[in-house]
Structures are given as structure tokens and as C-alpha cells.
Amino acid sequence: MLEQAVDILILSNGPGELATWVRPVVKALRQQLGIEQSHIRISVVLSPCPNASGKEVAIAQSYPEVDRVQGAEDFLPFLLSGKTAENWDWRDRGVVLFLGGDQFFPVVIGKRLGYRTVIYAEWEARWYRWVDRFGVMKPEVVARVPQKYAHKFTVVGDLMADVGTGDWGLETGENITNSQSPITNHQSPELIGLLPGSKAAKLAQGVPLCLAIAQHIHNIRPQTKFVIPVAPTLDIQTLASFANLQQNPVIKLVNGATAELIIPDINNEKPYLKTSTGLQVELWTDFPAYDLLSQCCLCITTVGANTAELGSLAVPMIVLLPTQQIEAMRAWDGLPGLLVNLPGVGTPLAKIINRIILQYLPGKNFAWPNIWAKEQIVPELLGKLQSQEVALFALDLLNHPDKLQEMRSRLRQVRGQAGASQKLANIVAEEVLNLQSISNHHED
């Protein structure tokens, strides 16, 4: 048991980081350091992110391991003054843990609070002179650091690899078998997940296109069931509006399918979208949906952090990059990502930047598993996509299970070894114990 109370402040930003980095790490921290807030208090402070949806606070608050959360809109005053919007108190000893944003933030905040600093670095480590410890994804990150700072670095692996390990407190299929839904009324159905995105720009194309693809597949394979895992930042009414022709003119642009939202009166039955052909696509609102996705034989998804999660679960996928509405692609890193998300001018800039990127970067991989592997192990379909062509591509995979199994095996190879969250928690625990030792030494 800890002798003095300690604060752990986690700095993060977007929904992807919260789901794949923060969630496993806070679980590991509680397992390592205990659940008593009087000994360890975990706070999450969010910084602005171009891919944010506005519901990141609610996501972080849903994690039982987290004691308090501050939203991105209050980050700048906190960075400049050290005061939160609710004027949080801070304990004398603590650790700042970086899990998304700018690596400069923990340097400033750690110095102001007098806390130790730990950074999780995927591809590059910065400010290593002023940071106490680093947990990095790969040895190559350490190789680029001057030798005199190498002692600060520990290779922990890829946090996203922990998504598929079962360390999430989930029983595989638990929610599914306990639910009376269109999917679960059939024994071991062929299940396909549809992931059309979580933000309006992607949903406008993704929802009607995915529904049309599902209809084509269902016409050939009527035994196939379909499900949309609804992003936690999205409500089902908003999602359904993108399948309504009167509310989404992009449906015509992508030759997509329309559908109406059905909310059953019977308890335990899931809501679903019903298309004009009678196809029912279940809406899965439990979060995270990893247990559900693990049972999918195939997923049809847009590009984004969801490709990393599917890759970590070793779920075969087809990645769609439709260009009918080219300004929808706004998930770029660095300066392009900032420019395309500027208010007012972001949309025209997105059109220009996306055309340049797509024209001058032939062969570039956009899905995370392909980026990890540096080759295309999951198919990426780019262009003015037609639902029937994508459906035929999916049907070929479904008709050749060996192709799906090969994709599954390759995904397992590239996702890396699990356990990064526990290793990172160990680093934080070591820093906490160092604080205790320093405190005891001063008292002596």
C-alpha cells in the first residue's frame, strides 16, 4: 500500500487515443496501484484534437478507473496557468502521463506541478532532456535518441495490440448471447460489421454506401447478418438521418441505399435500420464493441482509428476510401490535418489537399494495419466506389475462407505482442515508488 497520496494526470486528446490508449492503461494502473482514490487519484485532461467529436469527456468519464475529467475547451488556460476550470486541487506528489496530443504539454505541466513525467511515444520521442521516462512502441524510436538519454527509454510495444487480448474485462460474446436481437436469433450467423465512421463528413457517404453494399451481399447470401457498432460519440437518431434521402443529399451522389430507424418495443431487442428491400442492419450501442467485432467474419470500414482496432482484433476488413465527396477525408496528421479542419475554409482546403495527396502519393497505405506492415495486407478501395463492385469484392472473400484466414493471420503478425499497457503502467508505478522513496529520504 502507498504511504502517501499520489496524483496521476493523464494528458490525451482524440476519441481514438481514449479508446485504444487511455482505456487499457487506466485499467492496468488500477491493477498495479490499487483502486483507492485516497491513495491514487487518476485525472484526465484533454487537449484540442482535429478529429474530436465533442463527446470525449463523456467517453473518459465512462471509465470507472478515472476519477475526474476536463474537456479540451478548457485546456489552454490550464496549460498557461496550471488551473483547471473547476479549480482542482493537486497533491504534492504525482506523475504526468502523456497519451495523446503534443509531447511538449507534459513538459510544461509536469514542471508547473512539480510532477514526474512519462511519455508514450509511437514513432518519435521529443523533449527527452526534460522528460523523466519514455515508453516507446518500437526499438527504432530509441535508436534515434542520443546515448546519454537512452536510460530513460523502455520499449513497451504497441498499446493498440492490447485491444484483442481479453484484458478488457470482457467475456467474448457475453453481450451477444444475452441479447435478443435480429442477429442473435440465429445460431452462429455469418456476421459482417459495417463501420461507416463517426463524423458527419464520413457518415454522409459511409452510411448509404455501406447499406447498399449490404443489400447486394444479402441478395446473394441471405444467411448473412449485418451490424453497425455505433460510435460512442454518436446517437442512433443522428446515424439514421444519414440514411434518409430528405436529410442526406449525398445518398444520390454515392448511389446509396436508404433506410428507416426501427426501435422495437420489446426489451433487450436492439434498434436497427430497415432498408427498402427489408434488410435489417442492427445498431449495436454497447461500447466498446470488441466482443461483437471479434465475431465478425468480415468488416467493411472507412479509414481511421477503427482500422487499428480491427487490426488489433485480427478481424478481416475491406477499407473504403470513396472520393465522390472528396472533402470528407480530414483525418490527416500534421499541418494538413489542421488546415482541413479550420472553420469556414476547411472544406475547400480539404478538396485541394486531398486531391494533391491522392494524386501524388500512389501506393500510399491509409489503413493502420497496412501502415504497420508497410504493405497492403487488407484491401483499400479508393475512388468513386460503386456498391455492387464492393459487394462483389466482399463476396469473393466470403466464398474463399482461405483468403479471410490468410488476412487474419497477417493481422496477428503485424499487430505485435500484447502487454504494452501493463508495461507502461509498470513505468508509472516505478516513478510513483521513486516519489515515495524520495519522500521517505527527506523525512529521515
Residue 198's pLDDT is what? 83
Which domain covers residue 160, as residue numbers? 6-166+418-443
Nearest-angstrom CA–CA distance, 345 and 207: 25
Residue 252 has pLDDT above 70, yes or no: yes
3-state secondary structure of 307: helix
Q: Say which CATH number the domain at 359 has.
A: 3.40.50.2000
Considering the domain boundaries, does residue 1 fall inside one? Answer: no
- Do 273 and 191 share a structural domain? yes
3-state secondary structure of 191: strand
Give strand pairing partners of 281. 226, 273
- Do 335 and 358 share a structural domain? yes
Question: Any idea what the Cα angle at residue 82 is, between residues 78 and 84, rounded to 5°?
Answer: 50
Considering the domain boundaries, does residue 358 fall inside one? Answer: yes
pLDDT in tens, 106-151: 999 999 999 999 999 988 888 888 999 999 988 888 988 888 998 9
pTM for this structure? Answer: 0.71
pLDDT in tens, 144-171: 888 899 899 999 988 887 765 544 333 3
Identify the burial level of 249 via C-beta atoms within 10 angstroms of its C-beta, where 0-12 means exposed, 13-18 middle and 19 or more buried.
exposed
Considering the domain boundaries, does residue 221 fall inside one? Answer: yes
Residue 437's pLDDT is what? 61
Residue 175's pLDDT is what? 35
Span between the terminal Cα atoms of the chain, in Å: 20
Nearest-angstrom CA–CA distance, 228 and 299: 10
- Number of structural domains (the chain) is 2
- Do 348 and 205 share a structural domain? yes
- Do 399 and 272 share a structural domain? yes
- Do 283 and 305 share a structural domain? yes
Task: Categorize the per-residue pLDDT at 287 as very low, low, confident or very high, splitting at 50, 70 and 90.
Answer: confident
